[in-house]
Structure 1
């Protein structure tokens, strides 16, 4: 069985993609990288293809036509990673808001700490966010409080997108039933793993806002998360979570 793969969705990340891939491959533990590119017009996929000449099978590129959403990119990546036999499957952004060095800590939290899901958490030890305006910090922090209130899920950073899964988590969750595609996807995956009784741990990280490229956050994504949490909670009352 293969050990570790990092899934990185991209759309117009030409300014960051080479650096983030090189940073992952420079880690003391070997990680493979799967880039899911949604037809970036800026040449992101072409840059990855050039880098494949250097890194060979450790760097994998999946190209999709059109901007299909964060959630569907990860679901596509999960299916591939499971089929290829990886034991630990990671989510990470391409823009350096997640420090690649923390991948090792997330892995250790699962492999050595006997956890099933490890979350890179901005809020488990205070508020660890750099370069965000206060309005966005407050929106993100109170969004996680809102999720905890509605769902009862004991996770401080409910919207975090920096995670490690043991493969049995993704094999157990019926991924075809995951409905959301924006940041609500991150909430739904955590909630579902928790409802199935998997052991979830938060690992403190420092989140640094991107310095290159453009954020993909929008009011539509925020609304999906806000109203989706209520819908998700109601639907969970009529669903079995037996492993």
Structure 2
């Protein structure tokens, strides 16, 4: 594969009026050829209306429309926002889609390095927990939670990824076409784990590229106890299913070797 050239960056928003202009400006500087789809969940602060204004101004400056807006009726969740964005990208023939937050925690300056590796893997994850990756301005409790969650994922599900919960990533659209996106029902941050697992099950090569994750300076974090609980429960269920499948497969192979008919 060659690195993706027709790229869509999906940016879900809910009350990101303060941070979005800076995020879009940094994206335009870092990846000027990429398009952006803002998926707004009916933000009461007018993020959707602001996106339209920014899109028009950007189109006048560039001579083409690069910033697009998908309006949704309410706060429907991170996972469904990305699924809707994936469908939009697949309909329009993009080579790759990028998941990226609007709050500045994912640095646009790191995106070219992720895209450069899109020729080597179907899923490229911007990782905080591989050598060279780091976080800035995080309290120790949050770092402990993130590292612990990823260790939990590796143990429960056997995912060989250091940062399966990372939300800064690049998918080749060929991979997304192999995944039953209509069956993905994770709504919070467990969505990232779910998609990582599905990518691996689809036979995709997954690589991690170190990034610097910066704690947001504007707006309010969407992290909540409900989101964390959903992820913990889902990982436990997925892990149990996967381990049960592995055990059943092992018994099947053992019985097959012992069966006279098999010989």
TM-score range, shorter-chain basis? over 0.9
- The separation in 2 between residues aligned to 1:22 and 1:74, in whole angstroms, is 21
Moved segments of 4+, more than 3 Å: 234-239
Q: Is the 8 A contact 2:127 2:163 kept in 1?
A: yes
Q: Is the 8 A contact 2:124 2:169 kept in 1?
A: yes
Pick from 186, 201, 208 the counterpart of residue 207 of structure 2.
Answer: 201
Q: Is the 8 A contact 2:135 2:212 kept in 1?
A: yes
2:94 aligned with 1:91: no
Structure with the higher fraction of residues in helix conformation: 2
Structure 1 range deviating more: 203-212 or 52-61: 52-61
TM-score when scaled to structure 1?
A: 0.94
2:123 aligned with 1:120: no
1:130 alignment counterpart: 136
- The separation in 2 between residues aligned to 1:28 and 1:142, in whole angstroms, is 33
- The separation in 2 between residues aligned to 1:204 and 1:163, in whole angstroms, is 11
2:240 aligned with 1:219: no
Task: Please state how far the C-alpha of 1:206 moved relative to its aligned partner.
Answer: 0.8
1:32 alignment counterpart: 35
Residues 202, 218 of structure 1: CA spacing in aligned structure 2 closer, same or farther, 3 A cutoff? same
Deviations 1:63-90 (A, max 9, x none): 0011000000000000000101000110
**Partner SS, residue 6 of structure 1:** strand
1:146 alignment counterpart: 152
Pick from 64, 70, 93 the counterpart of residue 78 of structure 2.
Answer: 70
Q: Is the 8 A contact 2:79 2:188 kept in 1?
A: yes
Q: Is the 8 A contact 1:29 1:104 kept in 2?
A: no
Task: Please state how far the C-alpha of 1:234 moved relative to its aligned partner.
Answer: 3.4
2:178 alignment counterpart: 172
- The separation in 2 between residues aligned to 1:190 and 1:28, in whole angstroms, is 24
2:19 aligned with 1:13: no
Tell me the number of residue pairs that the alignment of Structure 1 and Structure 2 aligns: 237
- The separation in 2 between residues aligned to 1:207 and 1:44, in whole angstroms, is 23
Query: What are the equivalent positions in structure 2 for 1:221-236 lying under 5 Å apart?
Result: 221-236=227-242
2:258 alignment counterpart: none
Q: Is the 8 A contact 1:121 1:202 kept in 2?
A: yes
Task: Please state how far the C-alpha of 1:202 moved relative to its aligned partner.
Answer: 0.4
Q: Is the 8 A contact 2:129 2:210 kept in 1?
A: yes
> What CA RMSD, in Å, does the superposition of the two structures yield over aligned residues?
1.6
- The separation in 1 between residues aligned to 2:166 and 2:71, in whole angstroms, is 24
- The separation in 1 between residues aligned to 2:191 and 2:182, in whole angstroms, is 12
2:118 alignment counterpart: 110
Deviations 1:152-186 (A, max 9, x none): 11100111000001111100000011121000001
**Where do 5+ consecutive residues of structure 2 fail to align?**
60-64, 247-263
Task: Please state how far the C-alpha of 1:53 moved relative to its aligned partner.
Answer: 1.1
- The separation in 1 between residues aligned to 2:88 and 2:66, in whole angstroms, is 14
**Where do 5+ consecutive residues of structure 1 fail to align?**
none
